[in-house]
Amino acid sequence: MKYINEFRNKKIVADLSAQIVKLSKSKITLMEVCGGHTMAIQKFGIPSLLPDTINLISGPGCPVCVSSRNYIDNSIQLARFPENIITTYGDLIRVPGSQSSLDIEKASGADVRIVYSTLDALEIARKNPGKNIIFLGIGFETTTPSSAVAIQQAAKEKITNFFVYSTHKIMPPAMEALIDEGIQIDGYIGPGHVSTVAGSQMYRNLVNRFRISVVISGFEPVDILQSIYMLVKQHETRDKKIEIQYTRTVLPEGNLKARKLVDEVFEPRNDWWRGLGIISDSGLKIREKYVLFDAEKKFNLEDKEIKEPGGCICGEVLKGLKKPVECGLFKKVCTPENPVGACMVSNEGACNAYFRFSGYEG
């Protein structure tokens, strides 16, 4: 990978750490809202390089983690019909529903297939005209364009057996909901991949309304430390604004072609987030123009509240109120091999990241 050594250079990392220590005088709480950042922060030991004045907390940055158990249960029900083929990204297959998981259903004979893109799912639809191919559309601004591409292509080719079950979400409403709930956040380490698609200006209302800092960060140690330095500097100078650290990828306007594509196929709706409940205009549903490809309408899927498993604090972890190590199930009952909650399943989940990299001995 080009530039990998530069962004993991030990001298630069040490210099940035020293600059942060020197600059940070007052207490500050920073939240990352990207699962990739959560994993990187733990993997590279970023907290150990920071002064006690800086408190890093994880937010709702893992799409698998914030999706509802009802969505998983509905997906499992769809998988149980022999005329259906479920296609999904890998992380979702092991997320526990109320009674089962897609992984368990697959082992029991259901046709559940891991794909690497929506176009893979579309190809399965072409090759299996007698089956319903249902793609589980999950993710934030990063993955939504690929779902839109597949829906448009299916419409163009008149493929009538391809459906998307959308639980796509958008990030800024959740970031605002956290502050509305009274959670102490002084600045956000902004998601890099999400912002590559949607641009930096989508955080404008967040900054204007709450006077909070947002710095969009890359994923290497130098990226993250430089972003933290920028956030601390804003905090100490009281100059709250949006900044892009990840300039090699993110533009203020984002990817205009991808944004236009998403707007063509999807429209906002109220949606449920684990730990936060229903957030207005935080989800994306398929527009009426493409209703023939909407699994929710095709199969009359219900949206209902389902309680989280007893003892699981995934919701509180996603709000930054608790660390994974504060959960009584962590490393004792709940592990990546036997996950109780969604935060332990995904490689972007906070519990998974702490399990793998925090060095905590439970």
3-class state of residue 330 by DSSP: strand
3-class state of residue 207 by DSSP: helix
Structural domain boundaries of the chain? Answer: 1-312, 314-356
Q: Which of 195, 193, 200 is nearest to 219 (CA)?
A: 193
pLDDT at 5: 76
Task: Tell me if 51 sits within 8 A of 20, measured CB to CB.
Answer: yes
Q: What is the β-pairing status of strands 277-286 and 266-273? A: antiparallel
Q: Which of 350, 353, 339, 362 is nearest to 95 (CA)?
A: 339
pLDDT at 32: 97
Q: Which mean pLDDT values do the consecutive 10-residue runs of the chain (362 residues) have?
A: 76 96 97 95 95 96 92 96 96 91 96 96 98 97 96 98 97 96 96 96 94 96 98 96 96 96 97 93 97 97 78 94 94 92 92 83 41
The CA-atom distances, in angstroms, between 325 and each of 238, 335, 338 are 33, 12, 16
pLDDT at 85: 98
* 257 vs 210: CA distance, rounded Å: 30
pLDDT at 138: 95
Spatial CB neighbours of 15, under 8 Å, sequence gap ≥ 6 = none
Overall residue count recorded for the chain in this entry: 362
3-class state of residue 99 by DSSP: coil
* 273 vs 169: CA distance, rounded Å: 9
CATH fold, domain 1-312, is: Rossmann fold (3.40.50)
* 70 vs 272: CA distance, rounded Å: 10
pLDDT at 303: 75
pLDDT at 74: 96
3-class state of residue 173 by DSSP: helix
Tell me the whole-structure pTM to 2 decimals: 0.93
Tell me the two tokens of residue 66.
Answer: 């914030």
Q: Which of 4, 64, 2, 54 is nearest to 30 (CA)?
A: 54
Residues pairing with 84 in the sheet: 132
pLDDT at 360: 47
Task: Tell me if 20 sits within 8 A of 56, measured CB to CB.
Answer: no
* 334 vs 122: CA distance, rounded Å: 35
Tell me the two tokens of residue 257.
Answer: 């072609």
